[in-house]
Structures are given as structure tokens and as C-alpha cells.
Amino acid sequence: MNKIISLLILLVGLSACNTIMNMTKEEKELTYSDAVDVSFRVLSVDNKEDSLVLRKKSIDIENPEKIAEDKDWQYFIERLKMTMAEESGVGIAAVQVGIHRNLFLFMRLDKPDRPVEVAINPKIVSVSDTIICFENDGCLSVPDKSGNTKRYPEITVEYYNEKGNLIKETLRGESRGGDFTGVIFQHEFDHLQGVLFTDKLYEE
């Protein structure tokens, strides 16, 4: 019996070793490095170390349905919102401030007052059959550069919001002249894969 109990304890321990903590020590240090109303430094491709960080693929956040109860992630989200506002962006991913987690903010141009929403562990479930040329795509992490990128005009997505609710919806958008929420979502989703908009430029 003792051997069985010891084996069970060992198996639980091994399982725990393979589980990603909800927020690591390093992530907490960065999150609480300043007040909640102080923006993060946005990583830039002009910096070699930053560039390597931006190219690394992010991982999921555990128990996203309980994110509203997690004070660490809520603090991080508030600072990320402050950062996006100060940078005058329409979206920003966690990796752009040095946190390799599947989380980003995106502006809802398709809603009144254009609210900023949170996408946690997002997925692009399906895309339209056609590809468009989205003009003047740009990025907070790629300063002083823009270009025309290959994007889908319609995507169906799934993600958890900051309240822990699972959202399933279709997003659209083709040009900067109107609603391009779907393009913002694609751009930020790419960041989580270590992909930059410069990887999707149309050939001149």
C-alpha cells in the first residue's frame, strides 16, 4: 500500500512539473515592475534582444475561465491597456511587452465607442476563401514602417475575454476606411505565433 501511495505522489509530482504556472515569477516581476497606471516598454525590432523575444511563440494561460479572479493577470491587463492607449495603437499583444502568453488587446471598430477588448487563448477557427490587400499595415514594435499585407476579409474566432467568458464570433474588415476589426485580430494573433506584419507583405 505504501508503495502505491508513493507511486501516486510521484505521478502527481511529475504531472505538476509539466504544468505551466498561471504566472511565473519572472512574469510577476515584469507585471509589478511599476504602478498599474504606468505603461510597459514596448519591444522593438530595432533592438536585437527585443527582436528575438518577438519571434518566440507564446503559450496559453491556464484556466482562462477564471481570469477575472486572478489579480495578477487583471493587473497585467490594466497596464497593457494603458500601454496601448499611450502608444495610440488599435491592438497590442502580451509578447510586445515581454510576456510570452496568448493574450492580446484589440479595438472593436465594429462597436459603438470603439471599446478595447481582451482576447485570451484566441483561436482562428475558419477564414474566408479570399485574400485581400490591406493597405498601410503597421506595428508598434516595427517603428517608422508600414506596408500592404495579405489578410482575410472575414474570420471566425474563439477566445476568452477578461471576465472569463468564451466568445465565438465572426469578425470582418477590408480597409482602414471603415471597420477592420478582423484585420486587427489577425495582426495580433500573428504576434502570438512569433510572426510580424512584415512577414505577410505583398510583393511590390
Whether residue 23 contacts residue 72, with contact meaning beta carbons closer than 8 Å, is answered with yes
Q: What is the pLDDT of residue 80?
A: 98
Domain containing residue 71: 22-200
- The structure's pTM equals 0.89
Distance CA 165, CA 139 (A): 28
Residue 14 lies in a domain: no
Q: Mean of the per-residue pLDDT values for the chain?
A: 91
Q: What is the CATH number of the domain that holds 49?
A: 3.90.45.10
Q: What is the pLDDT of residue 2?
A: 53
Residue 72 lies in a domain: yes
Residue 11 lies in a domain: no
Q: Is the pLDDT of residue 25 over 50?
A: yes
What are the pLDDT digits (tens) for 79-112? 999 999 999 999 999 999 999 999 999 999 999 9
Residue 3 lies in a domain: no
Which is more confident, 74 or 176? Answer: 74
By C-alpha distance, which of 188, 176, 160 is closest to 97?
Answer: 188
Q: Could you give the C-alpha distances from 10 to 20, 21, 22, 189, in angstroms and in order?
A: 18, 19, 22, 37
Q: Is the pLDDT of residue 38 over 80?
A: yes
Distance CA 88, CA 116 (A): 12
The label of the residue with cell 471566425 reads 156
What are the pLDDT digits (tens) for 138-166? 999 999 999 999 999 999 999 999 999 99
Q: Is 188 a catalytic residue?
A: yes
Which one is catalytic: 169, 188, 203, 204? 188
Q: Grid coordinates in use for 103?
A: 493574450
Give the type of residue at 125: V
Q: What is the pLDDT of residue 87?
A: 97
Q: What is the pLDDT of residue 17?
A: 38
Residue 43 lies in a domain: yes
Residue 89 lies in a domain: yes
What are the pLDDT digits (tens) for 10-23? 444 433 333 345 89
Give the count of domains, the chain: 1
Determine the Cα angle at 116 with ends 152 and 41, to 5°.
95
Whether residue 151 contacts residue 130, with contact meaning beta carbons closer than 8 Å, is answered with no
Residue 62 lies in a domain: yes
Supply φ then ψ for residue 166, to 5 degrees: -80, 125
Q: Confidence class of residue 178 from pLDDT cuts 50, 70 and 90?
A: confident
